[in-house]
Amino acid sequence: MWAASPAFRRQLFLLRSLAPTCADGGRASSSSLRPHLMYAAAGPVYEADAEAVVRRITPPLDRARHKGQAGKIAIIGGCREYTGAPYFAAISALRVGADLSHVFCTKDAATVIKSYSPELIVHPILEESYSVRDDERESVSSSILAEVIKWMERFDCIVVGPGLGRDSFLMDCVGNIMRHARQANIPTVVDGDGLFLITNNIGLVEDNSLAILTPNVYEYKRLVQKVLNCEVNEENASEQLTALCQKIGGVTIMRKGKADLISDGKKVTQVSTFGSPRRCGGQGDILSGSNISVLMARIHFFSIYF
């Protein structure tokens, strides 16, 4: 029964794409991974060929497919202060090859995001505390969740966090959306302010094998302090990352840095291909929206059609 489940098939496809040894005992292509010289207590750290991986996960053009089969992505984020982040995440998913990109944001952010590109489908349904009376919170929260649920089953992946902000009411609403996505077995990428949300509520991603966390140096530090109750240990970075994944349970973490470290709690992969040395706002949103969300969308497509 488990072997026929969508979650298992997604994981199998991910292993075939990224892991040095496939679940069925086969070997991954040497063009996508090669052993790294560094060995950790949990096993060897493998160096990923970033270009080969990106080529593998980018949806190919196929005349037999129809709109939506190359990926339907939803971005949960965007408030009156931050409209660029959800745009970067949503538009980059389209640029990499996804067919449809939705943005669920606050009303104040919607018009701005709509003006950036006619390609994006924008849902102005989220609310912040300043626009909701205390006696309305429960009904408004229920209404927001009901509106998202109408769309949720259509998505191959959701990205939570770009431009979300830290408003308490908005955070509570997004937490409810994440719970429903988990019940519906929708892969979830957590970035930006979404990481602030789950750091304070680990249960939202605990034991969820379809969750990917993409923390930067500060977000990773907060996660380590919260979950492992210690400081970041750079000398044993791969072991600590593996321990963090295992402690949360099931999640995959991509620790962004000079060399990115990726682990599912079982093995560690390193990507040390250098990009721009400039570290400006929006780069993480492009990463989570393009490569990671489209990868998960492809896994979802694989689980349905193969």
pLDDT surpasses 90 at 248: yes
Alpha carbon separation from 71 to 1, 157, 265, 294, 296 (Å, rounded): 26, 8, 27, 7, 9
Band the pLDDT of 286: cuts 50, 70, 90.
low
Number of domains in the chain: 1
Task: Summarize the confidence of residues 64-73 as an average pLDDT.
Answer: 72
pLDDT surpasses 80 at 77: yes
What the block records as the tokens of 80 is 């009156």
Task: Summarize the confidence of residues 140-166 as an average pLDDT.
Answer: 93
Task: Summarize the confidence of residues 154-171 as an average pLDDT.
Answer: 93
Q: What is the CATH number of the domain that holds 264?
A: 3.40.1190.20
Strand 43-48 with 33-40, pairing: antiparallel
The reply to whether 89 falls in a domain is yes
pLDDT digits (tens, 9 = 90+) for 183-210: 999 999 999 999 999 999 999 999 999 9
Residue 28: what pLDDT?
41
Residue 106: what pLDDT?
96
CA atoms within 13 A on the CB side of 182: 19
Lowest mean pLDDT of 43-57, 159-173, 220-234, name the range.
43-57
Task: Summarize the confidence of residues 218-236 as an average pLDDT.
Answer: 94
pLDDT surpasses 90 at 59: no
Residue 258: what pLDDT?
81
Residue 295: what pLDDT?
60
The reply to whether 57 falls in a domain is no
* CA 145/CA 181 separation, integer angstroms: 11
The reply to whether 11 falls in a domain is no
Burial class (CB in 10 A: 0-12, 13-18, 19+), 115: exposed
- Tell me the DSSP string of 271-290: E-----S---TTHHHHHIII
Phi, psi of 275, rounded to the nearest 5 degrees: -105, -145
Task: Summarize the confidence of residues 50-77 as an average pLDDT.
Answer: 72
* CA 165/CA 283 separation, integer angstroms: 17
Residue 269: what pLDDT?
87
Nearest 5°: CA angle at 182, between 179 and 297?
Answer: 130
Amino acid 101 reads: S
The reply to whether 18 falls in a domain is no
- Residue ranges for the known binding site for (6S)-NADPHX are 163, 216-222, 285
H helical segments located in 153-216:
168-183, 193-199
Phi, psi of 108, rounded to the nearest 5 degrees: -65, -30
Residue 6: what pLDDT?
47
pLDDT surpasses 50 at 37: no
By residue range, what is the domain housing residue 173? 43-52+68-303
Instruction: Please say whether the beta carbons of 59 and 100 come within 8 A.
Output: no
The reply to whether 2 falls in a domain is no
| Torsional class of 36: left (φ above 0), alpha (ψ -120 to 50), beta (otherwise) | beta
Termini Cα distance of the chain? 16
Residue 122: what pLDDT?
96
The reply to whether 252 falls in a domain is yes
Residue 13: what pLDDT?
47
The reply to whether 213 falls in a domain is yes
- Residue ranges for the known binding site are 163, 216-222, 256-260, 275-285
pLDDT digits (tens, 9 = 90+) for 5-34: 444 444 444 444 444 433 333 434 444 444
- Residue ranges for the known binding site for ATP are 256-260, 275-284
Residues 6 or more apart whose CB falls under 8 angstroms from that of 276 comprise 283
pLDDT digits (tens, 9 = 90+) for 99-152: 899 999 999 999 999 999 999 999 999 999 999 999 999 999 999 999 999 999
Quote the percentage of the chain above a pLDDT of 90. 51
The reply to whether 9 falls in a domain is no
Residue 280: what pLDDT?
64
pLDDT surpasses 80 at 294: no
